[in-house]
Amino acid sequence: MALVTGGSASGGPPIGPAVGPTGINIKDVVDEINEKTMVFKGLTVPVRIECDPETKQFEIFIETPSTASLLLKEAGVEKGSSSCSEEKIGDLTFEQIANVVEAKKDKFLDKTFKSAIKTALGTALSVGITVEGEDPREIQKRLENGEFDDKIKGEL
């Protein structure tokens, strides 16, 4: 597993040193990674490369970026707050939180969409993002009280 910047992987580390010894064309691998990660442009994306040195065939598997990275992208910022309790770096709508959960639904360990949203709200809190202009903990309480039930799905 390697971490690359979406849409701008290069033949240098970590891709080049991993693929080079297999004899597979590094440029072909990098081009395919960049093509597949373009939707995550600028985000750190986990990538797995499976190579067959005998046939010179390879397969690229793209994972979704971290929940924090997706939330920061939604907020239009590059870095989270260094003091999340005092410095807020952005505000998202409940729908934006739900969209991030939808994008990562296969990676959440939660059983329900509601609990996955709570997890994402906790991540929003930790990077200094408010939701609907409020502390994410308040949104979690409102969510628990059923206020957003019409906006969420059941199972993940």
- Could you state, in order of their start, the residue ranges of all structural domains in the chain? 2-62, 67-151
Alpha-carbon span 53 to 56, nearest angstrom: 5
In this structure, whether the domain defined by 67-151 belongs to CATH 3.40.190.10 is answered with no
In this structure, whether the domain defined by 2-62 belongs to CATH 3.30.1550.10 is answered with yes
Alpha-carbon span 89 to 37, nearest angstrom: 26
Asked if residue 142 lies in contact with residue 148, where contact means CB atoms within 8 angstroms, the answer is: yes
For residue 75, pLDDT over 90 is answered with: yes
pLDDT tens string 101-121 = 998 888 888 889 999 999 999
155 confidence band (pLDDT: 50, 70, 90): low
Tell me the CA distances in angstroms from 38 to 4, 22, 44, 136, one per residue in order. Answer: 11, 25, 11, 30
Alpha-carbon span 13 to 81, nearest angstrom: 29
pLDDT tens string 2-22 = 999 999 999 999 999 999 999
88, with CB counted inside 10 A (0-12, 13-18, 19+), is: middle
How close are the terminal C-alpha atoms of the chain, in Å? 25
Alpha-carbon span 100 to 76, nearest angstrom: 14
The pTM (predicted TM-score) of the whole model is 0.77
144 confidence band (pLDDT: 50, 70, 90): very high
For residue 154, pLDDT over 70 is answered with: no
Share of the chain above pLDDT 90, in %: 78
3-class SS of residue 114: helix
86 confidence band (pLDDT: 50, 70, 90): confident
For residue 34, pLDDT over 90 is answered with: yes
Alpha-carbon span 130 to 145, nearest angstrom: 19
